[in-house]
Structure formats: C-alpha cells, structure tokens
Amino acid sequence: MIPTIRKTLLAVAIALGASSASADYAKYYENLPVALQPVKDVKFPDYKVDLRDFGAVSDGVTLNTAAFADAMAHLASKGGGVLCVPEGIWYTGPIQFESNINLHLERGALILFSDNLADYPTLKSDWEGLSTYRAMSPLSARGKTNVGITGEGTINGNGQSWRPVKKMKMTDAQWKKLCQTGCVNEKGDVWFPNEKVLKVYNDKSIQEKVHSGDAEALAEAHDFLRPVLLSFIGCRNVLLQGVTFENSPAWNVHPLLCENLIVDNVNIRNPWYAQNGDGIDIESCTGVLLVNSSFDVGDDAICLKSGKDKDGRERGIPSSGVLIEGCTVYHGHGGFVIGSEMSGGCKDIVARNCVFIGTDVGLRFKSTRGRGGVVENIYVDNIKMTDIPGEALIFDMYYGIKPGAPVPPVTEETPSFRNIFIKDVTCRSAGRAALFNGLPEMPMKNVVIEDSRFRADKGFMLNYVDGLTLKNVTVDVPGEKIVYGDGVVGVKID
C-alpha cells in the first residue's frame, strides 16, 4: 500500500538532483603524513516520507517494527530517499536497511528497541572477528549501497535486557537493586538477565555447537547471543552523522567489510559497566573518516579490527585508509585501539587531534599468539590525555596469555606490529607512561615517538622491542624513566 505522504515532508525526486548531508570532508586530508584517498559524499534521493504515514505511533509502547519495514520497502520501490522520524518515542523491533535510504531522526526523536528478545531472530553473522551466529542486530544492512543514519535524535538498544553485569563494577546499592530481577551465578559475582543466558554461559559445549549451526543449540542459546547495536556488513557509501547511539546489547557500532564510511559528529554512549560495550569497531573496512565524535563507553572506544585467527587470515582484508580526527573519549578501556582481533592486518591509519579523559589506557595496541596479521604504517599525532589509571601507551602482544610460555617458531599465526609513528602526545597523569610487551619471536619494530610529554607514576617499561626512537620526549616520573627488560635492541634517545 502506498501511503498518503505528508505534504510538508514530500519532495518528489526532481531535476535538482540528490540530497546529501554533505560537508567539506576534503579538508581533513590536507597535510597528512601518509597519502589517503579522501572519502566521497554519500548522497540520497530527495524523496522524503514520514514514519507516521506507515502507521507508526510514538507512544513508547506500540511496536512499530512493521511501520519501519513498510517505510523501507516503499522507499526502495521509489529508488530510495529519506525516512523522517519525528519527535517522539518510537518503540520497535529490528530495522533492516535498503540501499539509497537515509534514516533521519529529528530533534527529540528516540528510537527505542524492543526488550522482547524474541523479536530478534538468530542468523549467520560475525562476532569478535569470527564467523558464527548471533541474534539479529537492532540496526542492520548487508551488501547495501548508500546507507545513512543522520539527524539529532537518539537510538537506544535496550542493552540492559541482554547484558550480564559483574558485581565488582556496581555499588552495593546498585547490585542489590539489580538482583531484584534476573539471576546470579553460583559464585554470586555475575548477574544475568535470565536463566537461559546463565545456563549457556556455564555450558561451553552449547557455545561450541552454536558455531557449527546446530539448530537445537541455537534455539537454546538465543538470549545468550547478544547482537551489536548497528551491524553494517559489506556496505558501500555509509553515512552516520549527528545521531546518538547508546545502550547497546554488545558492541555499539560495528561496520564490517564496508567501503567509503563517514562517521561525523556522532555521540556513542554505554554504561561504563557494559559488558563488551565497545564504542565503534571498524573491522576490515577501507576508506573511513571518523571525525568530531564523542565516546563514553564500557569497553574500547575507537577500535580497529580485521578478524580473528584463521577466520581473519583467510578473509585477508585489512582495515586501511582510516582517518580519525577531532574525537573526545571519556570512559573506555582504551581511547584509540588496534586489536586484538587484527588477523587480517591494519595499515595506513591516521589518528590525530583527539582528547582522552579518564580512559583506562590511552593508546592501546594489542594482539596475541595465534592471531597473525601485520599492523603497519600507523600515524598518531596531537593526542591529549589526562586521568589515565593505566598506561598512556601500551603495546601488549600477550593479550589473553601470560608471559613465560614456551617460545614458538614464527608462522602465519605470529602477529607483527611495525612502522608506528607517534607525535605530539601530552599525558598529564597516568599510572605508567608506556609499556612495550612484545613477543620474543616477533618484537615490535620501528616505533618512533617524538615531541611528547608523559607525566605518570611510572616510566617506560620495554620488553622485546627492535628499533625504538625517542626524540624530544619528556618522561616525568618519580623513579626510573626507562626500564629495560628482555629483548630490547636499537633504542635511540635524542
């Protein structure tokens, strides 16, 4: 059925061309330390419709899943356009995008996703770099072209209906209130939203059967298979602009295998205790611009990935041509992060002019044996940090394993980090200035830090580094500025 379109929002596609939330993105590519191909504006037809014309009701109670689906289908039949979401609380199940459609949230619009987990069917997807099964994401697109979410509204994933919570991250009063619903594990230190999630959490055999697609296990594990809030897979020309994304079941925004991705002036939020509550995880994407955005999340904030272990190596698509500028990170496990799922590699990455306030660590590079992959040509410039309880800069190649294990031979499973250039970093306060924790079989190679100042409780700790240059670097600590551990060669200090 073709709806009666509200005159104030109807603009039939005319000779004036297409609309786009265009900006002068070319300016960000001036004076870069490495040549990156500028992103292109993402454009949409000028045809507009209003969600209310498809039967949607903004009372915060009525389920509007069908209205969103009908609006998407109508726009697709017209060649695309803009779906306007007015002020109000729009309660809904999953929204699946079509090509050439911009979901535009006006000021005061809140899309609140259903807390009925049965509204999200299980399907083949990806999670933490592996091909597996998950519940459908609240926002999803696969293989689409010209996809946008813009405006001044908010998208809330109702993540508390999915996520477990660790007692150590709550106050006594918060924990007592939380335990009035759901259930806790035998030790009494983790809360779960329901008994089904707790059962799968405790039964690794069910989790293993899920990966193989066992139908019985998938049905039993459904509530355990928390989705990311936004899952865009294999899409080209993606625009996320102005909107707040918050309260995700797992990761918040997850573009995977996308090309020409623009993330501009978004606000990404999760409770600080949110399990797997990452901000944005850019995985195996090419041509990405992330600018002027803020993050306050429960795990890593701005994170680059490219698949995990064998799955990532076989995919073999690095995250590349990524420019991050003008972002602010409040709480997060790391401000700017590469890894640990980086088995397809990361290269030609620039992160500059950002501020980290109170992140657990500042610049975080992490991997582990078994990953493989090469991380190279990383340029970090003008990062300001304060109140960092951990390291301002950390390279940890022992993520998830303990040092002291037998040293294996170098194979395709050995991760490699090299050619990393860090300039103009100012850290006012941190637990440690920097930790380099490389692998004996594959030390970090050619790391350059210049024109930087670190004020911390401890200085630099170096293990397995082959080529480290410190030029015009101040390490303001009460004890030793640099502690040399094992396997440190080629350190140059100017």
Q: 3-state SS of the chain?
A: CCCCCCHHHCCCCCCCCCEECCCCHHHHHCCCCCCCCCCCCCEECCCEEEHHHHCCCCECCCCCHHHHHHHHHHHHHCCCEEEEECCEEEEECCEECCCCEEEEECCCEEEEECCCHHHCCEEEEEECCEEEEEECCCEEEECCEEEEEEECCEEECCHHHCCCEEHHHCCHHHHHHHCCCCEECCCCCEEECCHHHHHHHHCHHHHHHHHHCCHHHHHHHHHHCCCCCEEEECCEEEEEECCEEECCCCCCEEEECCEEEEEECCEEECCCCCCCCCCEEEECCEEEEEECCEEECCCCCEEEECECHHHHHHHCCCEEEEEEECCEECCCCEEEEECCCECCCEEEEEEEEEEEECCCEEEEEECCCCCCCEEEEEEEEEEEEECEEEEEEEEECCCCCCCCCCCCCCCCCCCEEEEEEEEEEEEEEEEEEEEEECECCECEEEEEEEEEEEEEEEEEEEECEEEEEEEEEEEECCCCCEEECCCEEEEEEC
Supply the pLDDT for residue 176: 97
Supply the pLDDT for residue 6: 54
Report, as residue numbers or ranges, the catalytic residues.
299, 333
Token pair belonging to 391: 């390291």
Q: Are 125 and 231 in contact (CB under 8 A)?
A: yes
Give the pTM. Answer: 0.95
The series of mean pLDDT values per 10 residues for the chain, 494 residues long, is 45 36 82 96 97 98 98 98 98 98 98 98 94 97 98 98 97 97 97 97 95 94 98 98 98 98 98 97 98 98 97 97 98 97 98 98 97 98 98 94 85 97 98 97 98 98 98 97 97 95
Supply the pLDDT for residue 486: 96
70 CB contacts (<8 Å, ≥6 apart)?
A: 1, 54, 55
**Do the bridges between strand 122-127 and strand 130-135 make them parallel or antiparallel, or are there none, so unpaired?**
antiparallel
Longest C-alpha distance within the chain, in Å? 73
203 CB contacts (<8 Å, ≥6 apart)?
A: none
Supply the pLDDT for residue 10: 41
